[in-house]
């Protein structure tokens, strides 16, 4: 069997690590306890977090024991950003987010098997530290010169950085030390932007106890042009269906670029090497079939939302483009689709004509363009071809949830909602 490092390397999930040979030897000696942290800066995980959970799953498959840290303490401060100070959220809000993230991280990994995961909260030990104890027991071991040299801090010096965010590295290093002492944790994993925090924690443990621990970071998910992956025009791609519907989630991954789709498959799909290699071949030889995109969207949506929600999302997409009946979709799915196409809420008691509705929905620029689309046979109301641009909508034209879909041609879709 290949080692977990070989598997993660093939899947493109290692950007850097502490001494690779030493880490490989440590993992080969037997099951190790490792941890990855998630700060509650929102009520839901996003797909960047999901990549970290894929590392956890791979480690578990090789018998290693994960600690999933939800940062009830660090979430009150926030890891420094390149762009400016984070908002300090109320303690009650953060506590609610902690509980939400605890439930979410538990969904994606094995909590009960031989390598079952444990969820921990760093507030449990950080709350026991007074300011004086933190300065004496932790701060004494950190060089301000090295802290100033960290990339995120150096870039913020001109615009300003608070002492709270500047000191975040002390708290994350303390987490590593506490987990090392409490659970025998000897490895921390995370995203590439956590490298400085992880190595600082390893150094803190070495200086205070003489013990050698390890770190491993994944690359940031990026598009072909190098920009961050996981953002849409409407915002972050969340795993919570209340924030990103199964339909929107599935569509997002269906639109993955040919140049990067295999990279994403390796990260998010459980398919074996030979299947992914075959999908890579198909993408190179027949990119128009988008076989890899369909595999990616199906696999990750099944994992996050479940097969039933994925099938509903596929049916909704087919119905929107006239390949299935909109009337067969349930109200929840119709509402998700309406949200994704930015359905316009109608004002007043009088229903518009089809031409007016097409303008309101944004599928045409003017009533004359709407009439032209009707004349040319390219205007549709709920997938039914429109023959009279001036016919008013009726109550029967609105699907469950009070939404009606307008389409021009094959791909230009909008909606109005009562």
Binding-site positions for ATP read 231
Q: Which residues contact 339 (CB under 8 A, 6 or more apart)?
A: 245, 248
Two tokens, residue 220: 């940031």
Residue set of the binding site for L-tyrosine:
35, 168, 172
| Under 8 Å between Cβ of 228 and 291 | no
Two tokens, residue 209: 């106890």
Residue set of the binding site:
35, 168, 172, 231
Alpha-carbon distances of 371 from 172, 191, 210, rounded to whole Å = 62, 53, 78
| Under 8 Å between Cβ of 44 and 239 | yes
Two tokens, residue 103: 């439930």
* Rounded CA Rg of the chain: 25
The C-alpha atoms of residue 229 and residue 227 are separated, in whole angstroms, by 6
Q: How buried is residue 285: exposed, middle or buried, by Cβ count under 10 Å (0-12/13-18/19+)?
A: exposed
Helices (H), 64-167: 91-107, 123-126, 131-137, 144-149, 151-156, 163-166
What are the CB-based long-range contacts (under 8 Å, 24+) for 184-187? 184/33, 185/33, 185/34, 185/35, 185/67, 185/213, 186/26, 186/32, 186/33, 186/34, 186/211, 186/213, 186/214, 187/23, 187/26, 187/27, 187/32, 187/33, 187/34, 187/35, 187/213, 187/214, 187/215, 187/216
| Under 8 Å between Cβ of 237 and 305 | no
């Amino acid at each position: 069997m290949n080692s977990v490092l070989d598997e993660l390397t093939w899947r493109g999930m290692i950007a850097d690590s502490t001494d690779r040979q030493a880490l490989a030897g440590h993992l080969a000696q037997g099951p190790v306890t490792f941890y990855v942290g998630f700060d509650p800066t929102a009520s839901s995980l996003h797909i960047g977090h999901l990549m970290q959970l894929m590392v956890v799953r791979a480690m578990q498959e090789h018998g290693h024991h994960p600690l999933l840290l939800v940062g009830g303490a660090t979430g009150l401060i926030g890891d420094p950003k390149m762009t400016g100070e984070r908002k300090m959220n109320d303690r009650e809000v953060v506590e609610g987010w902690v509980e939400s993230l605890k439930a979410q991280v538990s969904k994606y990994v094995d909590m009960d098997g031989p390598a079952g995961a444990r969820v921990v909260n760093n507030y449990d030990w950080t709350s026991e530290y007074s300011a004086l104890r933190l300065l004496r027991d932790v701060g004494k071991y950190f060089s301000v010169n090295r802290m100033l040299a960290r990339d995120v801090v150096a870039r913020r010096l001109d615009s300003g950085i608070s002492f709270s965010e500047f000191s975040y590295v002390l708290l994350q290093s303390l987490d590593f030390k506490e987990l090392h002492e409490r659970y025998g944790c000897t490895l921390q994993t995370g995203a590439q932007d956590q490298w400085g925090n992880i190595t600082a924690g390893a150094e803190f443990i070495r200086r205070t106890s003489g013990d050698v621990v390890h770190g491993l970071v994944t690359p940031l998910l990026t598009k072909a042009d190098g920009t961050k992956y996981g953002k849409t025009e409407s915002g972050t791609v969340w795993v919570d269906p209340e924030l990103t519907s199964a339909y929107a989630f599935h569509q997002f991954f269906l639109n993955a670029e040919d140049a990067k789709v295999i990279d994403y498959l390796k990260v998010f799909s459980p398919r074996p090497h030979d299947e992914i290699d075959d999908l890579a071949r198909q993408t190179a030889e027949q990119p128009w079939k988008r076989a890899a995109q369909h595999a990616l969207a199906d696999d990750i949506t099944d994992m996050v939302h479940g097969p039933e929600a994925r099938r509903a999302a596929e049916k909704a997409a087919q119905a929107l483009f006239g390949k299935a009946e909109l009337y067969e979709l349930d109200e929840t799915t119709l509402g998700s689709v309406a949200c994704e196409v930015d359905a316009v809420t109608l004002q007043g008691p009088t229903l518009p004509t089809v031409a007016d509705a097409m303008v309101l929905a944004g599928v045409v620029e003017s009533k004359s363009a709407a009439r032209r689309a009707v004349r040319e046979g390219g205007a549709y109301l709920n997938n039914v071809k429109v023959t009279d641009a001036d016919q008013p909508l009726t109550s029967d034209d609105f699907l469950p949830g009070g939404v009606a879909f307008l389409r021009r041609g094959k791909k230009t879709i909008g909606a109005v909602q009562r």
